Chain A
Amino acid sequence: MKTVILAAVFLAIGISLGIWTASRTFVGETLPTKPFVAYFEQLKVPEGGHEGPRLQVVGGETHDFGSLPLWAKRKHTFVVRNSGNQTLKLVMGKPSCDCASGEDLKQGDLLEIAPGQQRDIVLKWEIRSSNPQFAQSAPFRTNDKKRPSLVLAIVGQVEDAVRRSREIVTFTNVPASASVIESVRLETNQTDKLSIVGDRFLNPDTSGFFEVQFEPPTAEEAKEAFSRSMLMARITLKPGLPLGPFQQTLELTTNMAPAVPPLQIPIKGNIVGDILVFGPGVRTHARTVTLGVIPYGRGATRTVTVSVKGPQRHETTLSVKELVPPYLKVQVGKPDDSKPNVRLCPVTIEVPQDAPLDNLGGGGEGGRAGRIVLETTHPTIKQIELTVFYVVRNTE
């Protein structure tokens, strides 16, 4: 009997000790043993509030203004309460932007809130960003040991009369002979029937290579949009632009003009040949490959990939035509036709171990570089040339 009593007493002491320890550790949190913790909290904390200053923000620390037009000015009142039994002190830090500021507070100001009291902190916000989403904040230091930092934040979306699904339309790595269509969704809440009354491509140098048509979005395209009216702009890039990067701007005038100014959609892209080279150390647009510094006597090997697009890709093969310096070794591997629209050919470049000391780093006036010429069976691209940079030197 004594054993049972003793065990029960120790058990009770142990559980009490556990609850007490846990209540100290997890004070303020939702525990599975909430009633016990609450009971001990009640015993521990004076009726006037928690021990020390205790910060609470009534109604949340982030306010979402929703959608607002550019230049709108708004205020939000955050309510900060001290549920502790000592004075709560807050010092305002530097807001993330001057467009967000306290109405009667500025950086460095000290607030004091008596136990059980609350006060308003009003943050002002001026929308002066054309970024679609916006977030600004004001930080505070506090003397609440549990919450030494507080960040009050305001977020929102900048309302555009006409929103678009893409900031920019890109035509990337388009073969010179190809015609490609890219789409952008236009949306508005200001009318039930958005229409385009005028369109023009601003850069006259390349405007002849572009066309635009407008039509309602497909169900799939409309899935993530919730505006009153939507329209798809289908932009066609026609063949014929010269190789290299290009940029264009599409200006659209809507049926809401002149209240809504014309919308400008940047268009960028690059025209490429059917054959490209990529891989470690490669600059594709410049057709260079950098092997770096090779210690004398060790040699180096690098595998790059030649990609072949276009209707003749399956018939296109590569072979080595010329190597500078001649001691370079280059091997064309077995092509991979498993990917749609592209044939991938591995090409291994080797600077052999017995290569002499050499500087082909391309530096300085008339700097030397290596050269690899690959012959192809492609009907229009007869050969591709790669410039190779490396230095073989004694590293000891």
Chain B
Amino acid sequence: MNTTWRSHGFSAALLAAVCGGGFLGCYERKDVSQPAPSKETRETPAGDLGEQESHPAPPVPKQAGKATSTEKAAADDLKPPPLFDGWSRPVLAFFVTGQQLGYIEPCGCTGLENQLGGLARRFTLLEQLREEKGWEVVPLDVGNQVRRYGPQPVIKFQRTSEALRSMEYRAVAFGPDDLLLPATELLSSISPPEGGSIFTSANVEIISRDLTPAWQVFQAGGKKIGVVAILGDSLRQKLQGDEVTFTPAADALKAALEKVREAGCDFYVLLAHASLDESRELARQVDALDLVITGGGIGEPTLEMERVKGSKAQMAQVGTKGMYVGVIGLFDDAIAPLRYQRLPLDSSYKDAPEMLKLLADYQEELRRIGLEGAGAREQPHPSGYKFVGTEKCGECHLKALAVWENTPHAHATDSLVTPPNNRGHIARHYDPECLSCHVTGWEPQKFFPFTSGYLDLEKTAHLKHNGCENCHGPGSTHVAAEEGEGDDDKRLMLRESMRLPLAGDKAKLKCLECHDLDNDPHFKFEEYWPQVEHVGKD
């Protein structure tokens, strides 16, 4: 082969290679969340990082109706793939969270191992990514740290802000429930002494525009990242009062992005506390966005990111109650620049001591300010009656008392004083959110004591635990009638009113005031009821 031929052949091969390569390069992968297995040597999974989606544990083989077989379900091809399967080291990893809704820790009522989420586990995962994997991690949050209103949620928001700062979050949006808190408390919470708040919003002004940044620009992994945070228009109606000013989301986003683009960022992120449709629409309305983190959607986040039609952006959900973390790797890869992994914060992540201390400080603050300080002020029971305590009920209802004494209801307060789990050193018996279902005489869903209800271990020792009157109502007039006050008609009427009938689901509804989806997701009335059922006086 002479030189000319070789030269022509090389040119042709080069051209062919360019054509072939161009074929690949002009198309971006649709599904980047589950990339094809890489031939690269995969990094060894970090010790406690375990395996993906570990909470649906690898199953024990069982029969299942017609279509099941006896084959071992633990077959290799059904094992969960390792975490970050096929990932090389990313340029940086976004660590996306949001919609904590007050769940700074799983309540643990039904065992911490059965519940997901919490700051202590989140911190551990973050540290593992940073320390064990050596990744540059950029935590971002779409907001709604709390979902209730009052002094206790303010304190919870303050502690969460501290936690987010200590985890080195780079940008945090506001949710509508955050913005219900008093603006002055909110601003105090989000302003670190050293300046430079991580809390960000392009379209929500708290008292004054200059008190909250409209966007964040920072360096990470050798890239300049621009983050804009938005509250969706549909959530405007949830805002109340005159201290928070709202601007329509699309206009504010465009204005903020224009400023951010002046900084010449390499990558643009939108934190959208908005519905899924609103988040998609916002991504379509601006062309710069690479990634949208949305607070929209309900329940769990999706397994994969969504490519937003009509936009180059991909969108990740965060789920609710802080149960999941999304890790989004940014790669120098033209085909698949982003890869996504959804991680449930289950009990395989150990509690970080730093966050346990924060939780302990939170409980200590609740102890110090007392129930009144936490906003749990006494209110009269709708019946107007007073609580007398389980011991008084047991003077006549001997058999019922015996049944009750053999149920966990009879130890409900103990499990707050010394929680029966690995966080047992942090007492919860000053926490109104816990007390409401663990003592007698509280409104279980609104977290305040009724007049004459439980106040503390000493003053109201007779109202410890989840006593008779939580289900049957305060017994003062019933007791008085039985002890001779009033006539027979009244006595009989009061006896009748103390019953808790199964009919009309009254008993079931009563149970669900505490055994709700948040605190007891696996509650089954039909299984629990026989354990507590008792009929009649004796």
Contact = CB atoms under 8 A, between A and B. Distances in A.
Interface of A: 2-3, 6-15, 17-19, 21-22, 25-26, 29-33, 71, 89, 91-94, 96-99, 102, 104-113, 119, 128-129, 131, 133-137, 139, 141-143, 145-149, 151, 153, 155, 165-166, 168-173, 182, 202-205, 224, 245-247, 249, 266, 268, 270, 272, 276-285, 291-292, 302, 305, 307, 336, 338-342, 344
Given A110-B73, A112-B67, A10 B149 contact: no
A278 B184 contact: yes
Given A14-B20, A92-B64, 18 more contacts: A10-B9, A14-B18, A18-B22, A19-B23, A21-B20, A91-B73, A93-B59, A94-B57, A98-B524, A105-B65, A106-B64, A110-B73, A134-B298, A139-B53, A143-B75, A148-B81, A155-B298, A341-B242
B5 A2 contact: yes
A169 B150 CA distance: 12
B36 interface: yes
Nearest to A284: B184
A80 B13 CA distance: 45
17 contacts: A3-B4, A10-B13, A11-B19, A29-B29, A89-B77, A91-B58, A96-B299, A98-B524, A105-B65, A106-B62, A128-B512, A135-B300, A142-B78, A148-B34, A166-B237, A170-B240, A173-B184
A29 B36 CA distance: 13
B12 interface: yes
Interface of chain A, helix or strand or loop or mixed? Answer: mixed
A327 B29 CA distance: 65
A146 B34 CA distance: 8
B63 interface: yes
B53 A155 contact: no
B300 to A, nearest CB: 6
Contacts of B380: 202-204
B241 A3 contact: no
B192 A280 contact: yes
A110 B68 contact: yes
B187 A278 contact: yes
Nearest to A173: B182
A32 B24 CA distance: 11
Nearest to B336: A25
A89 B75 contact: yes
A272 B66 CA distance: 67
B188 A133 contact: no
A153 B9 CA distance: 56
Interface stretch (B92-100, B262-270, B400-408, B515-523): B515-523
B422 interface: no
B512 A109 contact: no
B188 A281 contact: yes
B55 interface: yes
A205 B208 CA distance: 35
Contact of B67 (A3, A113, A285): A113
A225 to B, nearest CB: 10
Contact of B180 (A30, A109, A170, A291): A170
A7 B12 contact: yes
Interface in B170-192: 180-185, 187-188, 191-192
Contacts of B530: none
B21 A280 contact: no
B45 interface: no
Contacts of A305: 187, 211
Interface of B: 4-5, 8-9, 11-13, 15-24, 26-27, 29-31, 34, 36-37, 52-53, 55-69, 71, 73, 75, 77-81, 148-151, 154, 180-185, 187-188, 191-193, 195, 207-208, 211, 234, 237-238, 240-243, 297-300, 302-303, 335, 375, 377, 379-380, 382, 446, 448, 505, 512, 516-517, 521-524
Given A92-B59, A110-B73, A281-B188, A10 B53 contact: no
B16 A109 contact: no
A98 B114 CA distance: 12
A247 B63 contact: no
Contacts of A151: 300, 302-303
Contacts of A31: 27
A11 B79 contact: no
Contacts of A19: 20, 23
Nearest to A111: B67
Contacts of B55: 93-94
A10 B11 CA distance: 9
Contact of A6 (B5, B149, B182): B5
Contacts of B297: 135
B206 to A, nearest CB: 10
A247 B31 CA distance: 50
Given A128-B512, A151-B303, A344-B207, A3 B8 contact: yes
Given A172-B183, A280-B193, A26 B243 contact: no
Contacts of B26: 32
Contacts of A284: 182, 184-185, 188
A275 B22 CA distance: 66
Nearest to B234: A224
A88 B20 CA distance: 34
Nearest to A33: B23
B523 A285 contact: no
Nearest to B191: A280
Q: Which one of B183, B188, B505, B524 has the highest number of Cβ atoms from chain A below 10 Å of its Cβ?
A: B188
